[in-house]
Structure 1
Amino acid sequence: MKKIINNSVILLLLFVTKEGQAQKIHKAYDVVIYGATSAGVMAAVAAKQNGTSVMLLSPETHIGGLTSNGLGWTDIGNQTHQKTIGGLTLNFFHRIHRYYQNAKAWNQETLANYREKVTNSIYELTDSLMWTFEPHVAEKVFNNFIRENKITMKLNQWLDRQHGVKKENGKIVSITMLNGDTYSGKVFIDATYEGDLMAAAGVSYTIGREPNSKYGETINGIETQLTKGNNLPRGIDPYLQKGNATSGLLPGINADAGGKDGEGDKKIQAYCYRVCLTDATLNRVMVAKPANYKKEDFELIIRAAQKGVKTFWKLSPLPNRKTDSNNDGGVSMDYIGMNYDYPEASYLERKKMDEAHLYWTKGLIWTVQHDPGIPADVQKKYASWGLAKDEFKENEHMPYKLYVREARRMVSDFVMSESYLKGDKTVPESIAMGNYNMDSHNVQRHVTAEGDVQNEGDVQIAVEQPYPISYKAIIPNVKECTNLLVPVCLSASHIAYGSIRMEPVFMMLGQSSGIAASIAVKNRKDVEDINYTELEKKLLSSGQILSHSQK
C-alpha cells in the first residue's frame, strides 16, 4: 500500500508544479510511442528495426504491461491457436524457453519438476517454446529487446491529458508530459490499455457494452441468461442482514441488472490483479489482514463458501513453485463493478481505484485463509500460499499494474465485431490473427427476481477458428487524426474486444503498428493512406501470421 500512496503523491506534485515549469523541448523522432506495454515494446522494436528513430514513453517505471505483471499463464487458446503467433511475439516465447534452459534459472524446483506440471496441457514445453514464465523474467526479456535494439526509452512519463496534445491540420505535432517534457514526432502510437493519447487527441471512442442491435450481434450488451460460468450458487442472500431487505445490500450488489438482455450500457468487465503466489517457504510473504478491513466487504465470500464453493482463485503453475492466480469462480480476484469510472478517471482517481482493488485482493486472500466462516477444507487448500518475495519488490510483492481488461475502445470507420470473428464477414487488410474465446468477465452483481444475488456479464463463446484483425481497426477516422495508430484500444465492439484483448495479440498488433508507422514516415503518408500491399509484404517478411494459409 505504501508504494501506491507514494506514487499518488508524486502524481499530485506533478499536477501542482507543472504550471511553474519551463517546457523542455526534446528533439523530434520519427515515431513516438506512448505506453511501454507489451504492445508498446514490440511497436518500438519493429519501428526501430525498420529504420525509423523511436521514442518509447512509459508512464510506469516497469515495462511490459500485464505480461510482466503476473499474467504468466499466457492466453493462447489451444495448440492450433499457437500457430497463429509469429514475428517478434513468437521470438519472445523462444527467449523465455532459452532463459529456463539454464539451470541457474531454477531455485525452487527443477526444469524437470516443472515440465511434469504442464505436461499434457496446452502449455507443454516444446524443443524451443515456453508459454509460461515468472513476472520478473518477462520484464527482463522486454528490457533485453529495448537494449539490443538501442531504443530510446523514458520512464515515469505521464501524458498531460488536458493540454498535452498539440495538433495541426489533423496531425499530432507533439505531446507534453505532466513534468513539462515535450516530444514531437511524425507518427504516434498509443499503446496504453486506457487509450489516453487517443482520447486526448480527439479521436472518437466508446466505453461499455453496445446493444446487440448496434452491429448486428447476438452476445453483446446485458447478458443475464448467458452468464452461467463464473457465477454464484443460487440462493445467496444479498442483504447485509440475511432476510432483511431494509438493512441494505451487501457492497457491490445492484438492485437489478439495469435493463433487458441485449441492451447496451456503460459498464465494463471487471479488473483484477494477476497475483503471483508461492508455497515455497523461504520465498513467501503471507498476506496480512488489511488495516482497514471491514467484514461486510467480504461477507459474500463467506456466504458462497457456506453454499459449497470450493474455488476462490486459480493456482496456475509458473516456474519456481509460483502461480498466476487469476479470477476463478463467482467471487474471486475480480472486483466486480468497481471500475466503471476508470477509463475516464484522472491519474489520482485511478490510483484510488488501484488501491481499492488491492484492498479487495488482499482481503479476499486473508478471508479465505483465516475467517472462521470458511470451511476447513477450503482453508486447507489455500493455507500455504503467500506472495512471492522475489517479485514486485518495489510494491510489497503485489503487481505494479492492475489488469485493465478493457477501457476505451476507438470507434473508427471499421469496427471489428462478432460477425468478423465468427467468419460471417470477410476481414480486410489483415495485420495479425486473433484466436481466443469471445471472453467478457463479469460486469456486475445484481439481485434477481427470485431475491438472491447473481453475477452478470460473463460471456465465453468460442470462435470456430482463428480470424484476421484488420489494419483498418487500428487507424482513426481520417477526419480526426492522420498520424496516430492504436493497437491496444483498437476499434472493436465489446464482445469482439473480449477475444482480441489477449497479450500475445497485443504484441503482434504492436509489431504491425510499428511497421506501419515506419512505412508512413518513409513514404510521407498519412497512416490511412499507406499501401497495404507494401505493409503486407513487410509483415510477412517479419514473420507475422496473417491468414490460415500460413499455418
Structure 2
Amino acid sequence: MRCRIACPADMPEDRSRQGPIRIPRRGRGRAGRSSGGTAQGDPPRRAAPRVRLRRFGRAGTIRRGFSPSWASGWGEFVVKYYDSVVYGATPSGIVAASLMGKRGLRVLVIEPTGHVGGLMTSGLNATDIIGSGSILRGAAREVFQRAGAAYGSPEIEFRAEPHVLAGIFRGLLDEAGVELRTGTRIATIMKTGPSLSHAVLEDGDTVWSAFWIDATYEGDLLPLAGVSCRIGRESAEAHGETMAGRRRLGSMLPAPLDEPIPARDGRGKLLPYLLPPDGVRLGDGDSRLQAFCYRLTLTRNPDNRLPIPEPDRYDPADMELFRRLALSGRRKGAGAVSIVHGTTFNSIFFNLARLRGGKYDMNSGHAAPINLPLAGMDWLGSGPAGRRRIAAIYRDYTARILHFIRTDESVPEETRRFFAEFGFCRDEYHGSDGWPPALYVREGRRLQGIDTLTEHDVLRGAVDPEADIGIGRYPLDCKPIQWTVTADGERAVREGMIFGKCDRYGIRYGMLLPKPEEASNLLASVAASATHIAFASLRMEPHWMIMGAAAGAAVVLATRQRRTLHALAGRAVRALAEADLPHAVPEPAVALAAG
C-alpha cells in the first residue's frame, strides 16, 4: 500500500525534518497510547495499525506492511497535519473553527453525520436566550448578526430559519479556510503521555493535530481521549446541591392544572410510557438523562406546507395516558390556544414559537409531550446504526403525538382545527420528508474537568473576572427524566423536571479543560465540566457558542505563545474571543420560549 502524506506548506521546519514517525498499536509503550473511555456504556474502539512514515521533503510516500481490519484490500490513505481539529460541526464547533481559521491556523472540522450546524439547523430556532443578547460578544455574536443581515436588519436575529443559518455556518467555515469533513467518525485517538497526537478515522485516514476540541453534543471525543466524564445525575451529597439526584415526584400537569391521573387501565396494568416505582432514595445519583425530542419546523403557509406524515402504527389505546392528561386539563379550563410574549402559540398540547419566514418552532406541551424520557438512554453508548435506530423510535413517537393532537376527541375541537392548519416546510430538510435531521440531545456526557460549575455558582451568580470566558444567563431548565407512578402504583407522575430562575453567572475557562494529567491539548466546548443541575442552565446554544469562541481563542493563544492550554488565563482567552465584535447592546427583560 502507498500512502500520500499531506503536509501544510507553512509547517515549521523542525517538524518537517524529523525522522521516521511511528504510529504504534495500542498498548505498545508510552508513546502512541490509545485510551479507553471512562464513561459507562461507551462502545469499544479499534486499535490503530502500526505504520512507519518516511518523509521526502514536505511530501512523500509510506509503505504499509499489512491491511488493517477496517480497510478492504490495498489502497491509498492520507495522513494530514493541522493546528487544531474540531470534532462536531455544531454551532459551538463552527464558531471555534471560524475564529481559529481567521487567525491563520490550519483547522479541520470532523462531523460524524452529514449534517452541519447542529440543532440550530435542525429545528431549534427559537433561540434560548434572555433579553436582547447582551451576554454575546465577538465570534459568538457574529452568527446572530449575520442572521439579522440575511433579513435586511442591522439588529441581531434570534429566530432565523434553519436553512438561513445553514448558509451562515457554511459561510463562516469557507471564509476562514476551514476544512470540513462529514460522514466519518474518529475510530481511535493516540496519545503521547497526556497529549493527543493523532486520530485514525473510520475511513482509514490519519489526522495529526496540535490541539483538539470536542464540540459534539454527546461529548464523543472525551472517552476516546481517555478523559474522565460524567453521565447522568450526581447525588445531592457530591456537591451539596439541593436539587441534585433523584427528585420528589411531581404532577404530570403544571399547577393549577394538576389533579390525580390514574396510572392503570381497566385490567389493572400500567399505562404505556409509565415505569413502575424503583425504590431509589431521594438525592441518590443515577445515569439517567433528561428527555430528548425532535424540535419540529412547521408552517401554515399553503404554498410552503407539506402534509405531516401519518404514523406507521397508531393504536389509540397506546395514547391513553395523554388522553387522561388532556381531559384533566380541560376540566380545569385548559386546552385552548393562547398567545404568549406576542410571538408564541401556547396550549397544554404544544408551544409554537414564531420564526422568520412564516414558520414556527414546535416545542413540547404537557398533555401531549413530544419530549420522551428514557428512550434515548442508550444513545451515548451507541454507534451510528444504534443512534439511527433510536432516532427512528423518536420519529415514530412524535408522529403518533402529532396524530393524537390532530384527531383525538380529548383535544378540544378548536385546538384540533387550529393545529390541522400546520404542516412541515417544503423548503427545509430536503430528502427527509420535512423531519429535522438531528435529534435534540439535550444532555450528553459532561467533562470532569479542573473546574466544575455547580448549582451554587448558578444561583448565587458567581463571577470571577480572571477566570471567566463569558457570562451565562438562563433559568435552570431540565425536562422530565422519567414518567413513573406513586409508591402505591396508582397515580401517574413525572420525575426529574426542574425550572428555576437565576441571574447572570460566570462561565469559567477551567470548565473547558480536562485534568492536565489526562489530556493537555484538549478542550470541551459543549460537554463542559458542570453538574447535572448547573448544566440545566448551561446547555443553551448561545452559551455553547460562547464556549466555542473561547476554545478557539485558547488554541490561538497557546499556538502563538507556545504555551499549554492549562497555562492560559481566562481573562486573556475572553479578550481574544470577544475581539471581533466587543460592543454591548441594551437589554430589555424579555424571555423567549424555554428549550
Smaller-chain TM-score bracket: 0.7 to 0.9
- Equivalence for 1:110: none
Alpha-carbon separation, structure 2, partners of 1:89 and 1:133 = 15
Alpha-carbon separation, structure 1, partners of 2:582 and 2:518 = 29
Check conservation: 1:187, 1:520, Cα contact below 8 A: no
- Equivalence for 1:90: 141
- Equivalence for 1:73: 126
Check conservation: 2:322, 2:367, Cα contact below 8 A: no
Map 1:157-306 to 2 at 5 A: 157-160=184-187, 164-224=188-248, 233-239=258-264, 241-242=265-266, 244-245=267-268, 248-256=269-277, 258-306=279-327
- Equivalence for 1:490: 528
Map 1:466-545 to 2 at 5 A: 466-532=504-570, 534-543=572-581
- Give how far 1:474 is off: 0.4
Alpha-carbon separation, structure 2, partners of 1:467 and 1:238 = 41
- Equivalence for 1:352: 389
Structure 2, unmatched stretches of 5+, are 1-67, 336-347, 587-595
Alpha-carbon separation, structure 1, partners of 2:562 and 2:79 = 22
The number of residue pairs the alignment matches comes to 498
Question: Are 1:58 and 2:96 matched, yes or no?
Answer: no
Alpha-carbon separation, structure 1, partners of 2:253 and 2:553 = 39
Cα deviations across residues 439-473 of structure 1 (Å, max 9, x unaligned)?
A: 1111000111461101111101111x211111100
Question: Are 1:444 and 2:471 matched, yes or no?
Answer: no
Return the match for 2:492 from 445, 453, 458.
Answer: 453
Check conservation: 2:469, 2:570, Cα contact below 8 A: no
Return the match for 1:430 from 448, 456, 468.
Answer: 468
Alpha-carbon separation, structure 2, partners of 1:460 and 1:17 = 49
Cα deviations across residues 4-36 of structure 1 (Å, max 9, x unaligned)?
A: xxxxxxxxxxxx982436672332000011100
Distance 1:296 1:345, change over 3 A: farther
Greater Rg by CA = 2
Check conservation: 1:277, 1:387, Cα contact below 8 A: yes
Alpha-carbon separation, structure 2, partners of 1:473 and 1:185 = 22
Structure with a larger share of its residues in helix = 1
Alpha-carbon separation, structure 1, partners of 2:351 and 2:393 = 21
Alpha-carbon separation, structure 2, partners of 1:295 and 1:476 = 49
Distance 1:410 1:297, change over 3 A: farther
Check conservation: 2:252, 2:493, Cα contact below 8 A: no
Q: Percent of aligned pairs with the same residue?
A: 29
Output the amino acid matched with 2:398. Answer: T
- Give how far 1:353 is off: 0.8
Check conservation: 1:234, 1:453, Cα contact below 8 A: no
Check conservation: 2:253, 2:325, Cα contact below 8 A: no
Structure 1 window deviating more from structure 2 (495-504 vs 379-388): it is: 379-388
Alpha-carbon separation, structure 1, partners of 2:117 and 2:527 = 16
Check conservation: 2:252, 2:366, Cα contact below 8 A: no
- Equivalence for 1:400: 437
Distance 1:230 1:326, change over 3 A: farther
- Equivalence for 1:36: 89
- Give how far 1:181 is off: 2.1
- Equivalence for 1:307: 328
- Equivalence for 1:326: 363
Structure 1 window deviating more from structure 2 (248-257 vs 34-43): it is: 248-257
Output the amino acid matched with 2:281. Answer: K
Alpha-carbon separation, structure 2, partners of 1:296 and 1:185 = 55
Q: Which structure would you say has the larger RCO, counting Cα contacts within 8 Å and 6 or more residues apart?
A: 1
Distance 1:382 1:485, change over 3 A: same
Check conservation: 1:432, 1:508, Cα contact below 8 A: yes
